[in-house]
């Protein structure tokens, strides 16, 4: 049964508000967003932009992981069914500011948010310039630290209520609502475990160059018992192969992932290099 835009918005809000870290919950929301993307994609995006500024820190990071799956699906499906990539890209700075607010508790989400952004940059999900701008926001949060404003000082609320061009609104939270109960802490630990597991799985998924319209039909499957094709048939099969996409080769992406995951050299590294050089007779 197809829903009208108003009903779709209400149903989508219900899904987002009950979202958790499980892949089943995330995929349910993503499937709904793609199903009604052509009809009311902008309205559904407004729901995400509103809810990411209202929920708890755990709910906000869950929504960011939802956007991770939605962005990947949108890249594969494309408009009009999945018009969300430009919306995510345009609202990314405000989204990150909402997920990692400038409070002491906000730093609970900083590491996960940074991992998602670095994953997007490595997999070319969004424009690298937009991702770099969002990473700068996280770097600023790290420099400011908890002293930028204690929990419940209202600074996030003053900025968030005004809104911005991305439509993301962040509401202030007082001390009572910001403190986590024992149940919330245990739930956070469990969901962090689920999120990290999913992120590690996705980090090594290399991009596959998309097939063009002319080459969408698969080439005929040949078994060892198949007759040897003629020269003309070989030429036709070569023409059916998808074109190479410059700058998005799997080996380049894998190298960048390994490069980003390598820590800077420290004194121990230099000492180990010196010992190896002495052992090799170079010094």
| Rounded alpha-carbon distances, angstroms, from residue 38 to 5, 41, 166, 168 | 11, 6, 20, 21
User: In order of start, what are the domains of the chain with their CATH numbers?
Assistant: 5-203 (1.25.40.90)
* Higher-pLDDT residue of 175, 35: 35
Instruction: Give the pLDDT score at 192.
Output: 79
- Convert the pLDDT of each residue in 203-242 to its tens digit: 665 554 444 444 444 444 445 555 555 555 656 655 555 4
Q: Stretch 39-49: mean pLDDT, rounded?
A: 94
Average of per-residue pLDDT values in the chain: 75
Q: Stretch 76-94: mean pLDDT, rounded?
A: 92
- Convert the pLDDT of each residue in 235-276 to its tens digit: 665 555 545 444 455 556 666 666 666 667 777 778 888 888
- The pLDDT of residue 36 is above 90: yes
- Convert the pLDDT of each residue in 141-179 to its tens digit: 766 554 433 333 334 444 444 345 556 665 554 444 456
Residue 155 CB burial class (10 angstroms; 0-12, 13-18, ≥19): middle
């Amino acid at each position: 049964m197809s829903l009208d835009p108003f009903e779709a918005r209400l149903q989508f809000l219900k899904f987002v508000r009950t979202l958790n870290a499980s892949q089943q919950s995330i995929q349910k929301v993503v499937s709904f967003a793609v199903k009604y993307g052509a009809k009311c994609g902008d309205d559904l995006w407004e729901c995400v932009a509103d809810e990411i500024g209202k929920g708890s820190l755990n709910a906000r990071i869950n929504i960011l992981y939802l956007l991770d799956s939605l962005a990947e699906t949108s890249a594969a499906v494309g408009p009009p069914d999945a018009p969300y990539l430009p919306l995510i890209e345009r609202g990314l700075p405000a989204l990150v500011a909402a997920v990692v607010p400038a409070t002491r508790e906000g730093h609970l989400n900083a590491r996960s948010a940074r991992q998602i952004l670095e994953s997007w940059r490595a997999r070319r999900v969004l424009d690298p310039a937009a991702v770099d701008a969002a990473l700068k926001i996280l770097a600023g949060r790290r420099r400011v630290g908890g002293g930028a404003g204690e929990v419940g000082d209202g600074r996030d609320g003053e900025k968030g209520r005004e809104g911005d061009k991305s439509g993301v609104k962040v509401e202030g939270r007082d001390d009572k609502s910001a403190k986590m109960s024992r149940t919330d802490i245990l739930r956070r630990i469990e969901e962090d475990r689920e999120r990290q597991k999913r992120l590690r799985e996705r980090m090594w998924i290399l991009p596959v160059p998309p097939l063009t319209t002319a080459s969408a039909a698969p080439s005929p499957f040949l078994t060892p018992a198949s007759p040897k094709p003629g020269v003309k048939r070989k030429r036709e099969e070569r023409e059916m192969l998808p074109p190479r996409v410059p700058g998005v080769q799997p080996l380049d992406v894998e190298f960048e992932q390994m490069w980003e995951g390598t820590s800077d050299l420290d004194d121990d590294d230099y000492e180990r290099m010196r010992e190896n050089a002495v052992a090799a007779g170079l010094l």
